[in-house]
Amino acid sequence: MIQYVIRRILYAIPVLLVVAFITLWLFDIAAGDPAAIKLGKNPSPEAVAALHEKLGFDDPFLVKYGKFLWSTVTLDYGVSFTDDTPVRTIFARGIGPTLSLTIPAFLLGTLVSVVLALLVAFYRGSLLDKTMTVVAIAAISISSLVYILVFQYVLADQWKLFPIWGYEYGFGALTFVALPVLIWILLSIGTDMRYYRTVALEEISRDYVRTARSKGVSERKVLFSHVLRNCLIPIVTRMAIIVPFLITGSFLLEIFFGIPGLGNTLYTAIGNSDLPVIKAFTMLGTVLYVIFDILADVSYAVLDPRVRLQ
Amino acid sequence: MTTLSTMDAFDEQDLTVARTPTQEAWRRFKKDKLGLVFLVVIAIYFLVALWAGTFGWGGSYEVAGQTRPAYEASMGQLGIQLDGKPFPESQVPPTLAGGANTILGTDALGRSVFYRGLQSTKVAFIVGTFGALLSVVIGMTLGLLAGFLGGWVDRVVVFVYSTLASIPYLLLMLAIAFVVKKGDFADWYDDLKFRDFDVSDFISLGLLNLVVVIGLTSWVTLCRLVRAEVFKVRELDYVNAARSLGFGTGRILFRHVLPNVFHLVIINFSLTFVIAIKSEVILTFLGVGVDKEPSWGQTIAGAKNELMTGIWWPLATAGTLLFGLTLAVNYVGDALRDALDPKLKT
């Protein structure tokens, strides 16, 4: 197991090197001159030269690449173009609001999806199952932007059930994240429910279920104590894969509801062509993905004694 | 004689008939009536897109305040007779006063929401079809090669897709979009001409951008599936038989292996088609999508400011049309998966 983890980590290093290369290369082509962003129109040539010197703009690509890699090791990505705040501070500010939205949304969403999935798996082939399948397909066919616009307009603007926009630190956050959490659950339920239904149906067709039934265990008990426990393995593995996305946050929800999280930070950074923030974001997102991908495989082996990592 | 009459009792339908895999799949697909209905829905959308394709991108750009003859001319282009109906002066809610032009209201520039919604079908089909096509071609080819050849080819392909999959999806999309739209490529594409045919007039840079972004970012799923399936298929007897007959790798790959994994390609095409038209909305909202042509993404993104002032009809129209097409493709894709899965013979 430890050998496996070490090998996966070693394998991740070239991946990160290539991602760093692509990130730097793509955004360097795309972004253009930072002086145009920072100094406004008609800057003096001296000011431009000084800024280029300070940011290392004229450095050869390999030097920039080396610096960028070093930033990833030290987690120090310098300062933002727009207001000279250290990127680290910007991230530290955004993580709280983001997690206050994504963690409750994800936990509630998974709970609802799993319960619904077990329910339709229990009544598989019935009218309920078929209806829910069509409803789930319909739910994932609506554009996420339409969900946000309609719910914000109807529930917040017209019916005044939730605040339209804004955020408050501490417990006050609950009122502000309630509607985004609701939308997140609706957005994820279609895909998740169908996934967990497949998982549950696969488990139901196994021998231990037949054995339990033949012993006379009630169908309900088979489902909730035998099948559910075995379903936990794919559920937990799936959760591990999703964690990085919880940290990077929900882009659209944060923009529309004015939650000052990481998604919103990224949106502002893209609008301002704030390269240090964008590059740091891409790299950290990748690192998180790689780490949790390994953790997902490990958790699989830990939870399921039949799985041996080679 | 008795035997013969018993044989007669077995109607033709009860006899085992040889069917090609395609006929078999169609036979199973047909059983799902709702699937057939949605197939017709897709066909209708496709016809609308073709109709929109016949009069270029201009079409329903009638602007409030135009003089009557200019307005009539632009509607005439669409083949629509006004018959003395008034033309919209400003943004009006849905009303029957202006006939089909105002049946779903007009947008902020006085353009018919109804016609614009229908015209957007063209962008949806271009982005969906070509984006998905690019995606499945990359995914299928790399998956086939990696799975069949194994060795270093496999290691390279796995490395490429695990790298790509680990970059945050939206940022990768944005990075590629920025390069396509802002880099040297944009100027080169703008000047690209084949004889007198200006390519950028036919497919604008914004559209091409969407196709490239979707194609380059969404092939990983299919590649993984095809690779895993080819691993299984290449060990089967008929592949060994083909090898022992001395067929070349290319022939075995495309004539023997590909048909047995092609159901994955078809299913994945429908999934990517949906991802493509949904991504169009998000990318257009972020300012890297289409900007010249009418598209649902443009209307939905524009609704952000309209909705709070009570203007709901552009969002309702674009949202519903988008929903109809995505639902139909999603459902047909689902039905196809059941019909094409060789393990689910019924």
Instruction: For residue A196, give its domain range.
Output: 91-262
Q: Are strands B197-198 and B193-194 parallel, antiparallel or unpaired?
A: antiparallel
Residues B286, A153: C-beta atoms closer than 8 Å: no
Q: Give the span between the Cα atoms of B65 and A293, in whole angstroms.
A: 58
Residue span of the structural domain in which B235 resides: 32-55+120-340
Q: Per-residue pLDDT tens for A103-156?
A: 999 999 999 999 999 889 888 888 998 899 889 999 999 999 999 999 999 999
Query: Would A232 be classed as within a structural domain?
Result: yes
Please indicate, yes or no, if residue A279 is contained in any of the structural domains.
Answer: no
* Of A24-33, A293-302, B131-140, B314-323, the least confident: A24-33
**3-state DSSP call for residue B42?**
helix
Residue B153 falls inside a structural domain: yes
Position A110 in a domain? yes
Closest residue, chain A, to B311 (C-alpha): A153
Over residues A290-309, the mean pLDDT reads 84
In contact, A145 and B281? CB cutoff 8 Å: yes
Q: What is the CATH number of the domain that holds B190?
A: 1.10.3720.10
A24 burial via Cβ count (<10 Å: 0-12, 13-18, 19+)? buried
Task: Annotate B63-88 with b (16+ C-beta within 10 A) or e (fewer).
Answer: ebebeeeebbebbeebebebeeeebb
User: For chain A, what is the domain count?
Assistant: 1
In chain B, the residue whose alpha carbon lies closest to the alpha carbon of A252 is B282
| Residue B318 CA: distances (Å) to CA of A137, A170, B116, B218, B299 | 19, 39, 9, 25, 6
A190-to-A112, A134, A137, A263 alpha-carbon distances in Å: 11, 10, 7, 23
pLDDT single digits (tens) A208-242: 999 999 999 888 888 888 888 888 888 888 888 88
Residues on chain B touching A144 (C-beta within 8 angstroms): 278, 282
Domain count, chain B: 1
Contact B179 A26 (CB under 8 A): yes
Q: Which amino acid is at A159?
A: W
Look up tokens 């599936």; give the residue. B225
Give the mutation candidate from A37, A149, A151, A164 for the B interface (greatest B CB count, under 10 A).
A149
Half-sphere exposure of B179 (CA within 13 A, CB side): 16
Shortest CA gap B41–chain A (Å): 14
* Within-domain flag for A138: yes
Q: Does the residue A57 lie in any domain?
A: no
Mean pLDDT of B315-344: 88
- Cα gap B101→B116, rounded to integer Å: 10
The verdict on residue B244 lying in a domain is yes
* Nearest in space to A227 (alpha carbons), one of A204, A197, A193: A204
**Alpha carbon distances (Å) from B250 to A112, B144, B149, B263:** 49, 11, 11, 20
Average confidence score pLDDT of chain A = 87
Q: What is the pLDDT of residue B14?
A: 55
Residues with Cβ within 8 Å of B274's Cβ and at least 6 positions away in sequence, in order, are A141, B128, B326, B329, B330, B333
pLDDT surpasses 90 at B65: no
pTM: 0.87
Task: Report ipTM (2 d.p.).
Answer: 0.87
Which pLDDT score is estimated for A122? 83
Residue A201 pLDDT greater than 70, yes or no:
yes
B113 within a domain of the structure (yes/no): no
Q: Minimum mean pLDDT among B101-115, B165-179, B197-211, B259-273: which range? A: B101-115
Indicate yes or no: CB of A281 within 8 angstroms of CB of B183: no
User: Has residue B105 got a pLDDT over 90?
Assistant: no
In a domain, B168, yes or no: yes
Residue contact B315–A286, C-beta within 8 A: no
The chain A residues in contact with chain B (CB within 8 A) are 14-15, 18-19, 22-23, 26-27, 29-32, 134, 137-138, 140-146, 149-150, 152-153, 157, 248, 251-252, 256, 266, 270, 278, 281-282, 285-286, 289-290, 293
The pLDDT assigned to A57 comes to 75
Whole-number Å distance between alpha carbons of B341 and A213 = 29
Cα–Cα distance, B312 to B320 (Å, whole number): 12
| Beta carbons of B223 and B146 less than 8 angstroms apart | yes
Banded pLDDT at B60 (limits 50, 70, 90): very low
Is residue A162 a part of any domain in this protein?
yes
Write out the E strands in B130-227. Answer: 193-194, 197-198
Distance CA A145, CA B285 (A): 9
In angstroms, rounded to a whole number, what is the distance separating the alpha carbons of residues B48 and B69?
27
A81: phi then psi, degrees, rounded to nearest 5: -65, -35
Q: Residue B1 has what pLDDT? A: 44
Residue A149 lies in a domain: yes
State the pLDDT at residue B133: 96
Question: From B312, which residue of chain A is nearest by alpha-carbon distance?
Answer: A150
Residue scoring higher pLDDT (B15 or B143): B143
So what's the pLDDT on residue B53? Answer: 74
Give mean pLDDT, residues B126-137.
95
Helices B33-53 and B113-149: crossing angle in degrees, nearest 10, is 110
Name the interface residues of B facing A (CB cutoff 8 Å).
Answer: 34, 159, 162-163, 165-168, 170-171, 174-176, 178-179, 182-183, 274, 278, 281-282, 285-286, 296, 300-301, 303-304, 307-308, 312, 315, 319, 322-323, 326-327, 330-331, 334
CA angle at residue B297 from B170 to B290, to 5 degrees?
Answer: 80
In a domain, B138, yes or no: yes
* Distance set, CA B123 to CA B53, B105, B106, B282 (Å): 10, 21, 20, 14
Mean pLDDT of B116-145: 93
A14-57 pLDDT per residue, tens:
999 999 998 888 877 666 677 776 776 677 888 788 877 777 77
Of A251, A247, A245, A246, residue with least CA distance to A271: A251
Do B182 and A26 lie within an 8 Å CB cutoff? no
The CATH number given to whatever domain includes residue A200 is 1.10.3720.10
- Residue B95 placed within a domain: no
- Give the pLDDT of residue B64: 40
